[in-house]
Each structure stands twice: as structure tokens, then as C-alpha cells.
Amino acid sequence: MESKIKIALQKSGRLSEDSLSLIKECGIQFNNGTGKLMSESSNFPIHFLFLRDDDIPGYVSDGVADIGIVGENVVFEKNKEVEIVHRLGFSKCRLSIAIPKGQKFNSPADLNGLSIATSYPRILSHFLKENNIHSDIHEISGSVEIAPSIGLAEAVCDIVSSGSTLMSNGLKEVEVIFKSEAVLIGNKNMNGEIKALLNQLLFRIKSVQAAKNNKYIILNAPNKAIPKIIDILPGMKSPTVVPLALEGWSSLYSVINENEFWEVIENLKGAGAEGILVVPIEKMIF
Ligand code: PRT
Ligand code: ZN
């Protein structure tokens, strides 16, 4: 029988939508009927398990699933024997310590003696130990941000994204202790066939990510400006230069990274580029 790679995904929550979009962008079709706990693909040897995110590291370390997509915060908190195979760049957030707005804070030493409510006791105690701080960790499983107002704790350590939850609960973020994003994790003892499937999947994921991070750019320029423009364009190798029907002019095609996009565009215009077109890339194969 042909082997299939088993992937654990969050059933419903902040990771679900982006995880499923990534799978789809990798050209993998599947039927995600609502309420289903398992599913298969019709065009890739993969089996999906839909679980609570907290259970994903454990299932992957036990080999119930070969791989999984989960927040790095959960991977470190659960401390299971799994490998981080690839960073996925979505569901970015941070784990931070916050205290009531009116309270003074100069350094982490001010946390000494406080009780801190959190759902992340392992990551928090690691931070406290490293900084030689002695606080009481009060583990709770949800609604951490209300702990100070109901007198359960004097500070919190919780996931922060925009910061609005902390603000609306009268808290201020004073120390970021962990930065997280969604990661692809894998079992440490995958057999050769499963590893080969993982590599196929990784190849597709990397092509999708590279395409998202880059844009295809087409521009016209007088021939005398070409050397300067080539210096500005980072490109994959070197840009394609095609002569235009108009004497003394050429068209250049290249790829530029999203991060340096506006700066490159401004420099190109300054160097004499005209009629600049920017086109999204569907896939980028290396
Ligand atoms: O049901 P299940 O157990 O599967 O899901 P869950 O409720 O435990 O997790 P879920 O879906 O809320 O989050 C899954 C993962 O998304 C987390 O483990 C993080 O890696 C990541 N993530 C990204 C976040 C956030 N952003 C986030 N903002 N997880 C939680 N939050 C919460 C946070 O707990 C706080 O209550 O949002 C609030 C803060 O948001 P801001 O924007 O107000 O700062
Ligand atoms: Zn959870």
C-alpha cells in the first residue's frame, strides 16, 4: 500500500484558516467538511487530522501524526519530543508580561514577589529563572487578562497580538518573553517514505512562500540607464533585457522582494525607469 503522510491541523481557531489556505496553495485538494475530524486528499498522499492546538505536539511526538502545524508558543510550552521543520510566518504573536496600568515598572526585577497568572507556566518559569526573579506562577487555562481585576493575581503573562485585549482590561505590556509564529513540526523518527513526502510538501510550501514574498517587475528604460538599473535590481540571477521597437530603449524583467519593494521602485524611477509594472507571482520554483 502507498504510504501517506499524516498532518495534524487545528480544528478551529486562529491557526485553522491560514493552515488550510497554505495546503490549498500547495495544490493539495481535500474535503474539509464541517465537524470532520479526519480527511484525505484526492491528489496527494496525505491524511489530515483536525485537533485542538494543545494536543498537536503530543500527537506528533507519539507518531499518531507525522507532522503538524501549531504555534511555536505551544511547542515550547508542551515540551514534547518534536522537531521544528519549517517556520510558516503566519499567526505571529508574542507572549508578554503585563501589569495594571497605574503600577510602576522599571525592570523585570520589579516582578519579584508578584503572583503572575498564565496559561504558559513553562515558558514563564524559564524566563523567571533566567532573570533570577522569584514570582508565584498561577496557572489558569483561559481569560488570563481578567485575573488582576478579580484579585486572582497581580500580573499576567499572556499572548499579545494587537495589545487591545490588555488595554481594555486596564493592563500594560511591560516585558516580551517569547516571540511566536506558526511552525511546521515533525516526528523525530519518520521513515524514509514519509520523509520523502515531507520533502515534497516542503518544496511546495517554500515555493508558495517565496512567491508571496516577491513581485515580478517589468519596466522600460533608455539603454544608457541599463547598467545603473541592473545595479539596483536584486533579481534572481540578472534581469532579462529585451530591446523595444523604439530605438535606444529596452524593457527589463526582474523579481524584487516585498521587504525592499518601495525603496527599489524609488531608486528605479530615479535612475530613469518608466512604465513600471508590478505583477504578483503565483509560484516560485528554485
Ligand atoms: O481550541 P484550541 O485549543 O485549538 O485553540 P486555542 O483557543 O487554544 O488557540 P487560538 O486559536 O486562540 O490560538 C492559536 C494560536 O494562535 C496561539 O497558540 C498563538 O500561537 C496564535 N495567536 C496569534 C494567538 C493570537 N495571535 C492572539 N491574539 N493566540 C491567542 N491570541 C489571544 C490572546 O490569548 C489574547 O486573549 O488574543 C488575545 C490578545 O489579542 P490582542 O490582539 O487583543 O492583543
Ligand atoms: Zn488551545
- Is the Cα dihedral 263, 267, 270, 272 positive or negative? negative
Helix (H) or strand (E) holding 147: none
Q: Is the pLDDT of residue 279 over 90?
A: yes
User: Coil, strand or helix: which one is 176?
Assistant: strand
Q: Is the pLDDT of residue 172 over 80?
A: yes
| 95, β-bridge pairs | 159, 178
CB 145 within 8 A of CB 169: yes
Q: Is 225 in the pocket of ligand 1 (CB under 6 A)?
A: no
Q: What is the pLDDT of residue 258?
A: 87
- pTM higher than 0.75, yes or no? yes
Q: What is the mean pLDDT of residues 108-134?
A: 97
| Domains of the chain with bracketed CATH | 5-90+181-211 (3.40.190.10), 93-180 (3.40.190.10), 214-280 (3.30.70.120)
Q: Per residue in 40-51, pLDDT tens?
A: 999 999 999 999
Q: Is the pLDDT of residue 202 over 90?
A: yes
CA atoms within 13 Å, Cβ hemisphere of 142: 1
Burial 137-168 (b: 16+ CB within 10 A, else e): bbebeeebbbbbeeeebbbbbbbbeeeebbee
Q: Is the pLDDT of residue 236 over 70?
A: no
Q: What is the mean pLDDT of residues 11-27?
A: 96
φ and ψ of 117, to 5 deg:
-85, 135
Q: What is the mean pLDDT of residues 190-206?
A: 98
**CA-145 nearest atom, ligand 1:** 36
Nearest to 155 by CA among 166, 163, 142, 168: 166
CB 156 within 8 A of CB 116: yes
d(CA 156, CA 284): 43
Instruction: Quote the percentage of the chain above a pLDDT of 90.
Output: 92
Burial degree of 228 (CB within 10 A; 0-12, 13-18, 19+)? middle
How many Å lie between the centroid of ligand 1 and the Cα of residue 12? 11
Q: Per residue in 248-268, pLDDT tens?
A: 999 999 999 988 889 999 999
The protein residues having their C-beta less than 5 angstroms from ligand 2 (an ion) are 53-54
Q: Is the pLDDT of residue 97 over 70?
A: yes
Nearest to 228 by CA among 252, 244, 247: 252
The identity of residue 41, as a single letter, is: S
**CA-92 nearest atom, ligand 1:** 23
